[in-house]
Structure 1
Amino acid sequence: MIERAIELADQIDYYCSKEKDLKLDSLSEQDWAELEKICNFLKSFTDATKAAEGHAHAIDRTLPIMDFLLSKFEAAQIEYADDAFMAPCIDAGWAKLDAYYTLTERSSAYVGAIVLSPHRKWHYFDTAWEEHPEWIESNKTAVEDLWKSRYAPVAKSAESSAQSLVEKPLAKNSCLAWEDEHEDSELPTLFDEYQNYISAPRIKVKDVRRWWLEDTQQTLYPNLSKMALDLLSIPAMSAEPERLFSDTKITLQDRRNRLGIDIIEAIECIKSWSKTHNLAWVDDAELVLDTAIIGEGEQKGTSNIIPDITSNR
């Protein structure tokens, strides 16, 4: 709105000068100059908003975007240090954003999502928080605690799982038995997926969530991949979830006021999956069979005639 007003500044001034009731609301040259400063500064917020919107962006973008905006505030504090109008505005904005930044400490999900992005890991914080090493150490502890408390397998099951990878079946001949006896008995028995992932080199990927769903990661990090997908499924903004929620009003019409929550969930899932081409449609033979089953259920008066399509999600 401000940008459009600046483009039409001459027309707005002319209109205000012709209307007697608007003369007191006319903007001076100084007012227009201050509006232009505000507009130029807020362009960074427009870019930040666009960088976070949509279903493709997850919570791993939150802290980098806030770091980007904080850098803009800090640069503006230097640029407008002697500006009586802009200086207090910049300071107030920085204080508010810093307060929100501090609130992210309540959850390790923000940092964990970045760490579980294979192109970033802890390298991002080593650079962004270079002047605050204590932040890095405290967050490393928090993320590792999240991993150990909710996702890491218990020591007993992890040990047996690791041993199953290195144990060989008992040899039936003396030569193989001799080899088994002389194998290294000090092989590690506990495989820590998180530490192995952190120590691996960073790699550039186009889609982080798709990378974690690949067979390689699912096999190498069966538990860590669950943590990654849980964190990276949190959207960076609430706009997309709100849009999906509002979309249900199209489904819930007056003639469908008796739909159960399970059916509504199934319908919304199908709608979402079909839009992203992530739905495997059944062939004609299966469709005919399902239709016959549903028709038979309707004749018998059974209520549960639609299969639970969300059970395998």
Structure 2
Amino acid sequence: MTHEFLQPFYQATMEQQMGWASIDQVLENMDILFKQFEDAKVKCVDNARMVNSVHMGWWVLSEYYEESDKNPVYATALLLHPEKRRRYLDRHWAEEWQQTAIDGARRLWAKYKKKPLSSELACSGNERRGAAPYERIKQSMSVLDTPSDEDEFEKFVNSPPRHMMTKTPLEWWCREEQTMEYPRLHQMALDVLSVPAMSDDPERVFSCTRRATSWDRARLLPGTVEGLQCLGNWIKNDLIRKLYVAVDDEIIDVTGGDDVAYPSGLYS
């Protein structure tokens, strides 16, 4: 009985340690554990010791719910998940919890909704306005829905959830079609969904910082150390290409492609 009861706790912990885990999983896993507690109250009604343990665990979980309410990022991550959106809250949360989550997400969205568009998106709009007569006529005959002035956040969260064709919601938001349809909301989504589900990986990076600040490098500024660790983590996760430099002071650019033969005298 105990092993069966604890299985969701084990799986939730392991999933949030995965490399693809993100903060949108936190409240979802807490909801799963909450349901496990509620079901256990019924199943174990004749086992006084188990019922007492379940109530104690439920109380601890409720404390974590209260802590998550202090930061709107947790609920916002759920709302920005393309397979969940507002429908998830409507089906699984109490009405008062729903409104608190929505209000917090709207406050966070207010910091992004007035931001100027990136130069690339602005240029694409100018190109459409300055199109040749043929292109203008062709665009006027298009049967596609034209972009509306509807609030991006409200439009997204109130739309029906749909299956992702990507592994994570962060990858989904990185796709070009999301950038074009939600030019400002996609930036908020990238900032929110880039937050890891657990702090174990950032803590490991922080611990490695000690090796970057040896006694003979004690004058490094905090920003320099932060930049070193950030770049090191990006390289470790293959987010940027390595730069190879010749030992004899001759700098050779080898970032052109995978078919480049690296000289034996180079180091990364």
Q: Normalising TM by the smaller chain, what interval? A: 0.7 to 0.9
Partner of 2:107: 145
User: Does structure 1 residue 203 correspond to structure 2 residue 167?
Assistant: no
> In the TM superposition, what is the alpha-carbon distance from 1:49 to its structure 2 partner?
0.6
Alignment size in residue pairs: 232
1:85 aligns to what SS in structure 2? helix
Letter in 1 for 2:59: A
Q: 2:219 aligns with which of 246, 253, 258?
A: 258
Partner of 2:143: none
> In the TM superposition, what is the alpha-carbon distance from 1:289 to its structure 2 partner?
4.2
User: Does structure 1 residue 69 correspond to structure 2 residue 33?
Assistant: yes
Q: 1:111 aligns with which of 58, 75, 78?
A: 75
Tell me: CA distance 1:269–1:107, structure 2 relative to 1, closer, same or farther (3 Å).
closer
User: Does structure 1 residue 49 correspond to structure 2 residue 13?
Assistant: yes
Partner of 1:193: 152
The one-character-per-residue Cα deviations of 1:208-249 (angstroms, maximum 9, x if unpaired) are 212222222222222101111121122211111111111112
Letter in 1 for 2:111: R
Q: Which has the higher helix share?
A: 1
The answer to whether the 8 A contact 1:73-1:90 is kept is yes
Letter in 2 for 1:218: T
1:296-307 → structure 2 map (5 Å cutoff):
none
Q: 1:288 aligns with which of 250, 253, 256?
A: 250
Letter in 1 for 2:101: N
Letter in 2 for 1:136: Q
The answer to whether the 8 A contact 1:61-1:236 is kept is yes
Letter in 2 for 1:135: W
Fraction of identical pairs, as percent: 31
Measure the CA separation in 2 of the matches of 1:260 and 1:168. Answer: 47
Measure the CA separation in 1 of the matches of 2:170 and 2:21. Answer: 10
The answer to whether the 8 A contact 1:54-1:239 is kept is no
Letter in 2 for 1:203: H
Partner of 2:23: 59
Runs of 4+ in structure 1 displaced over 6 angstroms?
169-172
Letter in 2 for 1:146: L
TM-score, normalising length: structure 2: 0.73
Letter in 1 for 2:227: A
Measure the CA separation in 2 of the matches of 1:254 and 1:171. Answer: 64
Measure the CA separation in 2 of the matches of 1:92 and 1:198. Answer: 35
> In the TM superposition, what is the alpha-carbon distance from 1:142 to its structure 2 partner?
3.0
TM-score, normalising length: structure 1: 0.64
Measure the CA separation in 2 of the matches of 1:124 and 1:116. Answer: 11
> In the TM superposition, what is the alpha-carbon distance from 1:260 to its structure 2 partner?
2.9
List runs of 5+ in structure 1 lacking aligned partners.
Answer: 1-36, 156-160, 181-186, 292-313
Letter in 2 for 1:48: A
The one-character-per-residue Cα deviations of 1:35-84 (angstroms, maximum 9, x if unpaired) are xx444433322111112114421111111111111111112212222223
Letter in 1 for 2:151: D
Partner of 1:8: none
2:81 aligns to what SS in structure 1? coil
Letter in 2 for 1:249: R
Measure the CA separation in 1 of the matches of 2:69 and 2:27. Answer: 11
1:236 aligns to what SS in structure 2? coil
Tell me: CA distance 1:53–1:105, structure 2 relative to 1, closer, same or farther (3 Å).
same
Tell me: CA distance 1:95–1:289, structure 2 relative to 1, closer, same or farther (3 Å).
same
2:91 aligns to what SS in structure 1? helix
Letter in 2 for 1:121: R
The answer to whether the 8 A contact 2:85-2:158 is kept is no
Measure the CA separation in 2 of the matches of 1:290 and 1:257. Answer: 31
The answer to whether the 8 A contact 2:86-2:158 is kept is no
Measure the CA separation in 2 of the matches of 1:235 and 1:171. Answer: 46
Letter in 1 for 2:176: D
